[in-house]
Amino acid sequence: MGLYSEVLSEDRILKDIGDARNVLIVTCPGCACESIAYRNGGPCRTLAKGKDMDSSAAAVEAVRDEWDARLTALGKTVSHVTVSFPCEMFENERRSITEAAEGADAVAVLGCSSAFLAVHRLLKDINHAKTVPMMKTLGFFALNLIEDESGTHSVVDREHSEVFYFKVKKCVVGK
């Protein structure tokens, strides 16, 4: 079972990125990918890539690429790093984020709230960049994935999947 999250509004993300010139997008190919596929009703993973999460995450990569183009059109320099499950990183994964964040003014996290919290905590004392959430976690899911008609991608079988929404009004990150 994973965390269900939806991409925040364009206005919110752009406001949070603000005047940052160099933006790193940290992408989670896990729950974020399935959440986007569920919400958008499109492809989830590229089946030819097998179960390698980093290379098969079609849904989250499409959103990342859209944001890359949008931010680049605004004159920002954009880079990416993909980390499977930034909510539970090993040292080498933490290092890949900290190295990629060097020189970034903003680090945008395309992942659930757990991914955002982990990246924020990782960078708060070692990087001056602001950490920007790109998704909001709204619940958890139990999803069934099936092949699409072409056999190229997996898609969410909405009839046999379910999202369970939280009833939390406000979540505050403590110290």
Enumerate the domain spans of the chain. 2-165
Averaged over 58-68, what is the pLDDT?
Answer: 96
Q: Is 85 left (phi over 0), alpha (psi -120 to 50) or beta?
A: left
Q: Is the dihedral of CA 28, 120, 112, 74 positive or negative?
A: negative
pLDDT band at 175 (very low <50, low <70, confident <90, very high): very low
Averaged over 34-45, what is the pLDDT?
Answer: 93
- Other CB atoms within a 10 A radius of the CB of residue 26 amount to 29
Q: What's the pTM?
A: 0.90
Show the beta-strand stretches assigned E in 8-153: 22-27, 77-82, 106-110, 130-133, 135-142, 145-147
- Output the pLDDT for position 169: 64
Q: Which of 124, 57, 134 is nearest to 97 (CA)?
A: 124
- Output the pLDDT for position 129: 84
- Output the pLDDT for position 144: 92
Domain 2-165 has CATH 3.50.50: no
